[in-house]
């Protein structure tokens, strides 16, 4: 099924036509939203009365609402009511809901954006020679989910991993390797424990002035293309890349690496362009680009003549907008960098690279992960939590929970479920719990990490969602029927519990198409599972007459179909049995 929009678009269009018919001389975009007093509510009448009461000879908001009501399509709504304040609440016809759900069942589930765009999403971006830690969790998970969603609606998405593979730390590492392995010019040494190497090099850098000077010279050699420095740098990057890929494989993350080093040769031409456009000012020996965002400038060239992060970001945004001609750029990083990226976007406008009327630069900032004490999440020894350790602990706890439940349910132990072993299910449950617990949070605020809460089988957790999905699958096993063998025309909406679930399911396109502004897919997915649980508890699905049974099985099938897509976009692998 190819949706351009959900229920709200149909309702908005109906009100637009009604307002145009009632007041032909007025241009007005209907103010429509979901309502607790009905399926939808239109708040246009009070606004129209306030702005046009004299011109249209209107006596009250109530009268204005009644005029709109007279022109509403009766085929779409089963109930239309106006309040004394002029608000119009409506319920969608059950036949319309059933027809839309039949389409969901009969066709591939696909939502199409109004226009296909070329989108670059910059996310994850760990630093070479350092392990991924809990600070990389949110960027990686949010970025992957955004990419899945943008791809789902038809956009051409470039998933870029802007790794930190350039800078002064490499001079330190290269010089340390040269001193520890005098034969490295003939044979590249095996680099094992990169963390150990980094700590040793850093200790020597901080304590040995002679070494510090040589390390700085090694940076210059690397940036100048010295063959040995380049070879050692590549070896360091390869070891880091291998470790990053292990984490990405575990979380099913897909990225194209294009790190800071890729822009090294682009920086000088960009600096020249900015100078030619009189956008750079010399301040204390550095070439700076000042914007109206902050008194702190972007430093295109440092006082020592070198290039830093600002230089790289200026080159990268130009490359992405001008050379690659992306329509959207999405930067997924922590809120602490918001001012920097707002300045970067403004600089791109000043340089003529970015025209907000034609393209869009979006800062998808997020809050930090905290411990239960409200401080940055760290180990007991005060170190930053390694991401691999966090994932291992989540899987371990998920496995314990699965074994406990299995013991309660006849001691199934390590028996497989549909060919999925206990270890595999523990990984799916553990990784899903981590992802969902992050994605369900308000993106821009900090949140407190808790294994206990994220692995709770009750409430708004991945565990609850996965059990709900498995429950739907169990219904079909118990019924001994494949829902695809049931004619979709058998679906009817007759019960209030059915209506509630149907209205929610058909909001899916609205949620998906508005995701960049309001990342609420996790909350919507939870609402689906909660609504389905209410439906299943309050009506009989199997133990009823044949027509009702077939209809409700189809509603279960529609729920499973939409829920499966939601879980995929969230990066969660559904299980038919747990």
Identify the pLDDT of residue 410. 62
Nearest partner of 109 among 573, 463, 567, judged by Cα: 567
Give the pLDDT of the chain (578 residues) as one tens digit per residue. 445 457 888 899 999 999 999 999 999 999 998 888 999 999 999 999 999 998 889 999 999 999 999 999 878 999 999 999 999 999 999 999 999 999 999 999 988 888 999 999 999 999 998 889 888 999 999 999 999 999 999 999 999 999 999 888 899 999 999 998 888 877 777 776 788 888 899 999 999 999 999 998 998 899 888 999 999 999 999 989 999 999 999 999 999 999 999 999 999 999 999 999 999 999 999 999 999 999 999 999 999 888 889 999 999 999 999 999 999 999 999 999 999 999 999 999 999 999 999 999 999 999 999 888 888 887 777 778 889 999 999 999 999 989 988 887 765 544 546 668 899 999 999 999 999 999 999 999 999 999 999 998 888 999 999 999 999 999 999 999 998 899 999 999 999 999 999 999 999 998 888 776 667 899 999 999 999 999 999 999 999 999 999 999 999 999 999 999 999 999 999 999 98
Query: Left (φ > 0), alpha (ψ -120 to 50) or beta: where does 440 sit?
Result: alpha
Cβ pair 368, 448 in contact under 8 A: no
Identify the pLDDT of residue 1. 44
- Helices 7-22 and 44-52: crossing angle in degrees, nearest 10, is 30
Report how far residue 377's alpha carbon sits from residue 383's, in angstroms, rounded to the nearest whole number.
Answer: 9
Identify the pLDDT of residue 144. 98
End-to-end CA distance of the chain: 30
CATH of region 2-92: 3.30.1360.70
Collapsed DSSP state (helix, strand, coil) of residue 448: strand
Identify the pLDDT of residue 518. 66
Identify the pLDDT of residue 416. 47
> Which two structure tokens, joined as six digits, stand for 321?
């907008």
Q: C-alpha distances in angstroms, 454 versus 142, 402, 427?
A: 17, 14, 14
Residues in the chain: 578
- Helices 209-223 and 168-180: crossing angle in degrees, nearest 10, is 110
Give me the residue spans of the domains in the chain.
2-92, 168-251
Identify the pLDDT of residue 557. 98
Spell out the residues 6+ positions from residue 182 whose beta carbon is closer than 8 angstroms to its own.
Answer: none
Identify the pLDDT of residue 375. 85
Cβ pair 64, 58 in contact under 8 A: yes
Phi then psi dihedrals of residue 334, to 5 deg: -75, 155
3-state secondary structure 454-499: HCCCCCCCHHHHHHHHHHHHHHHHHHCCCHHHCCHHHCCCCCHHHH
Report how far residue 184's alpha carbon sits from residue 190's, in angstroms, rounded to the nearest whole number.
Answer: 10
Beta bridge partners of 361: 329
Place of tokens 């209809």: 551
E-assigned strand segments in 32-147: 32-34, 40-42, 77-82, 88-92, 110-111, 118-122
């Amino acid at each position: 099924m190819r949706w351009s929009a959900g229920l709200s678009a149909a309702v908005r269009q109906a009100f637009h036509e009604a307002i145009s018919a009632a007041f032909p001389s007025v241009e007005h975009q209907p103010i429509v939203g979901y309502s607790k007093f009905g399926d939808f509510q239109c708040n246009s009448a009070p606004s129209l009365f306030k702005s046009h009461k004299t011109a249209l000879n209107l006596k009250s908001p109530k009268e204005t609402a009644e005029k709109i009501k007279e022109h509403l399509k009766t085929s779409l709504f089963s109930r239309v009511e106006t309040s004394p304040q002029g608000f119009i609440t409506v319920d969608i016809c059950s036949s319309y809901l059933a027809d839309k759900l039949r389409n969901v069942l009969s066709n591939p589930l696909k939502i199409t954006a109004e226009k296909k765009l070329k989108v670059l999403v910059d996310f994850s971006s760990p630093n070479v020679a350092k392990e991924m830690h809990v600070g990389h969790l949110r960027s990686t998970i949010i970025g992957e989910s955004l990419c899945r969603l943008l791809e789902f609606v038809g956009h051409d998405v470039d998933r870029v991993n802007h790794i930190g593979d350039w800078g002064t730390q490499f001079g330190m590492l290269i010089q340390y390797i040269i001193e520890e392995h005098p034969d490295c010019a003939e044979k590249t040494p095996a680099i094992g424990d990169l963390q150990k190497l980094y700590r040793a090099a850093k200790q020597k850098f901080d304590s040995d002035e002679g070494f510090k000077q040589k390390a700085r010279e090694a940076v210059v050699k690397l940036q100048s293309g010295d063959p040995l420095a380049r070879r050692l740098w590549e070896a360091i990057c390869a070891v880091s890349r291998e470790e990053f890929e292990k984490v990405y494989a575990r979380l099913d993350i897909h990225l194209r690496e294009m790190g800071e080093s890729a822009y090294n040769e682009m920086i000088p031409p960009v600096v020249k362009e900015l100078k030619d456009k009189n956008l750079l000012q010399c301040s204390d020996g550095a070439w700076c680009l000042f914007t109206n965002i902050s008194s702190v400038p972007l430093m295109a060239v440092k006082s020592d003549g070198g290039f830093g992060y600002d230089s790289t970001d200026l080159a990268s945004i130009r490359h992405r907008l001008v050379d690659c001609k992306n329509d959207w750029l999405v930067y997924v990083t922590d809120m602490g960098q918001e001012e920097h990226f707002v300045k970067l976007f403004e600089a791109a406008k000043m340089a003529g690279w970015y025209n907000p009327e034609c393209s869009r630069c979006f800062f998808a900032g997020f809050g930090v992960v905290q411990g239960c004490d409200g401080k940055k999440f760290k180990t007991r020894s005060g170190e930053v939590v390694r991401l691999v350790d966090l994932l291992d602990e989540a899987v371990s706890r998920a496995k314990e929970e699965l074994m406990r439940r299995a013991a309660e349910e006849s001691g199934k132990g390590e028996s497989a479920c549909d060919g999925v072993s206990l270890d595999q299910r523990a990984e799916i449950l553990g990784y899903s719990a981590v992802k969902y617990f992050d994605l369900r949070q308000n993106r821009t605020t900090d949140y407190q990490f808790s294994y206990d809460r994220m692995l709770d089988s009750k409430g708004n957790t991945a565990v609850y969602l996965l059990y709900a999905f498995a429950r739907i699958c169990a219904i079909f096993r118990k019924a001994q029927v494949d829902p695809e063998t049931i004619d979709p025309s058998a679906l009817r909406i007759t019960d209030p519990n059915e209506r509630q679930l149907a209205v929610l399911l058909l909001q899916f396109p609205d949620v998906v198409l508005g995701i960049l502004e309001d990342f609420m897919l996790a909350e919507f997915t939870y609402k689906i599972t909660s609504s389905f649980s209410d439906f299943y508890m309050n009506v009989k699905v199997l133990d009823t007459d044949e027509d009702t049974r077939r209809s409700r099985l189809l509603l279960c099938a529609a729920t499973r179909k939409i829920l499966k897509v939601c879980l995929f976009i969230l990066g969660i692998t559904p299980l038919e049995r747990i």
